[in-house]
Homo-oligomer: A and B are copies of this chain.
């Protein structure tokens, strides 16, 4: 609803800038009595953390999370559980190098939010991108780790399916492989090609875009709601809100424009459990904004990092022509680290959809 909050019953508020003392989130509406340890959050943060391979920014951030509220030890089990109160998670900024910002503080970096923040607010926090830094996504990942606890039967995973013009071969899709290469790529062969390609991009000081696919298995039929609370609408908003994302699609997405009704509509047959068995999943698990019980599939496009070494034409805050080169640490492909962020956003949306569904319809 607000600018830095999303969700309805399960609500996430984030705060913090790239180079301030800390970033964090407040997660409100979490059901009580869910086992939650800081290690659960840390595991997801570690997957998003920078500096784990040569393909991500070399900023060294341990991203150590602390839970400030909303949990306590349940005396009956000795486990730490949620209490139903808001859960605040704090992540200190450690490696916010005190550097010289004189090069960028008075110039608008093309492709960045520099000009728009300045146009809106009359000033901008030029230190590391301030609030618009991708660092904010760590707070989302922390929230997503909590969201997963609410819907433990739903397995949410993301995979990088395209870097630049290179795409995976879906026939080789292997989820385990996403844990083995630094790209969250489900195709080992493609991962090798991605590495070669991205080495070239990185060395030339350039950058490239990517496509990430998020898959949620195990959500029952009935989550989501017409009309403006559609599950696909909320997924679209959540994923589009991730830094650098320029497109979102559900199921076959843009490809459905080329399909006929016969090709697109997923037929059904009676399933063993009495519920319909869909014979295909062009819909990506959502019809009329409500989950079908099939696997939910969302895909998003991440634009290339705008921080590159080639000089680019721009203007100063004073309105004069100039050039700019964005030196310093950056990701040659921000799409890579967007994979755990995408998972987190989908987890938050689904947890919220589950709680609201239970609220309106019960059980």
From B131, B313, B360, give the contact of A29 (CB < 8 A): B360
Cβ contact within 8 Å between B261 and A17 = no
Q: Does A42 contact B (CB under 8 A)?
A: no
Q: Chain B nearest CB: distance from A160 CB in Å?
A: 10
The answer to whether residues A115 and B287 also contact, given A3-B227, A69-B17, A110-B267 and a CB cut-off of 8 A, is yes
The stretch among A18-26, A51-59, A171-179, A187-195 that forms the contact with chain B is A18-26
Cβ contact within 8 Å between A3 and B32 = no
Cβ contact within 8 Å between B290 and A227 = no
Q: Chain B nearest CB: distance from A106 CB in Å?
A: 9
A residues 286-313 with Cβ under 8 Å of B?
Answer: 286-293, 301-308, 310, 312-313
Kindly list chain B residues whose C-beta atoms are within 8 Å of the C-beta of A14.
86, 227
From B11, B305, B363, give the contact of A261 (CB < 8 A): B305
Q: Chain B nearest CB: distance from A101 CB in Å?
A: 10
How many identical subunits does the complex contain? 4
Q: Does A153 contact B (CB under 8 A)?
A: no
Report how far A210 CA is from B279 CA in the complex, Å.
Answer: 24
Q: Chain B nearest CB: distance from A129 CB in Å?
A: 9
The answer to whether residues A206 and B250 also contact, given A236-B237, A290-B119 and a CB cut-off of 8 A, is no
Residue of B nearest to A222 (CB): B120
From B1, B116, B240, B362, give the contact of A236 (CB < 8 A): B240
Task: Give the size range of A's interface with the partner.
Answer: 35 or more
Proximity string of chain A (99-117) to chain B, C-beta cutoff 8 Å, 1 when within and 0 when not: 0000001001011110111
Report how far A293 CA is from B226 CA in the complex, Å.
Answer: 33
Q: Chain B nearest CB: distance from A22 CB in Å?
A: 5
Q: Does A98 contact B (CB under 8 A)?
A: no
Cβ contact within 8 Å between A257 and B358 = no
Report how far A314 CA is from B270 CA in the complex, Å.
Answer: 8
A–B pairs, 20, beta carbons within 8 Å:
A2-B228, A15-B86, A15-B88, A32-B123, A83-B124, A83-B125, A111-B283, A115-B292, A116-B288, A117-B226, A132-B226, A236-B236, A246-B284, A247-B248, A247-B254, A253-B301, A261-B306, A269-B313, A270-B315, A355-B360
Q: Does A356 contact B (CB under 8 A)?
A: yes
